[in-house]
Amino acid sequence: MLPCIESIYSKNKNGYAYYYDTITKKAYLHHRFAYCEFHNVSVASIKGLCVCHSCDNPSCINVDHLFLGTQQENIADMVNKERQAKGETQRSAKLTEGEVLAIRGSSLSGRQLGEMYNVTESTISRILTRRTWKHI
């Protein structure tokens, strides 16, 4: 695969670059704009679709790395590549990996563990049955 081509434009907190089109007077995600320019389609014509990165580099505008997909396909691609937030990297995480391991090794009841770690008993149950925190 050819190397990434990094956008020179300013990036948001997630690393996606914005391009300001002086003709339409609108700002676009640069990779979306690059995809449309290369394929000679309007940005409006791909509304509702994602321009996905095979390289997983949000600021890449190399059209050989870009492909169209639905939001569901984009999420499936992320999951298949194991790029989704999990465990402590998830913003809503209330526990650490160490605490999860301690919960799994404990002989206390789910209610007691829930009170100890300030989470619900159902959260404890999902940890113990490995429906959550599957990666550890």
Partnered with residue 19 across adjacent β-strands are 28
Model pLDDT for residues 76-96, shown as the tens digit of each residue: 998 888 777 677 767 778 899
Locate the domains of the chain by residue range: 18-80, 87-128
**E strand or H helix at 67:** strand 66-69
Quick one: average pLDDT of 103-119?
A: 95
Q: What is the pLDDT of residue 85?
A: 66
**Looking at residue 118, what is its pLDDT?**
94
Residue-level pLDDT at 30? 96
Q: Report yes or no: 43 and 51 within 8 Å, Cβ to Cβ.
A: no
> pTM to 2 decimals?
0.65
Span 112-134, pLDDT tens digits:
999 999 999 999 999 999 998 88
Q: What is the pLDDT of residue 116?
A: 95
Q: What is the DSSP letter of 60?
A: B
| pLDDT, tens digit (0-9, with 9 covering 90-100), for 51-66 | 999 999 999 999 999 9
Rounded Cα distance between 78 and 120, Å, is 29
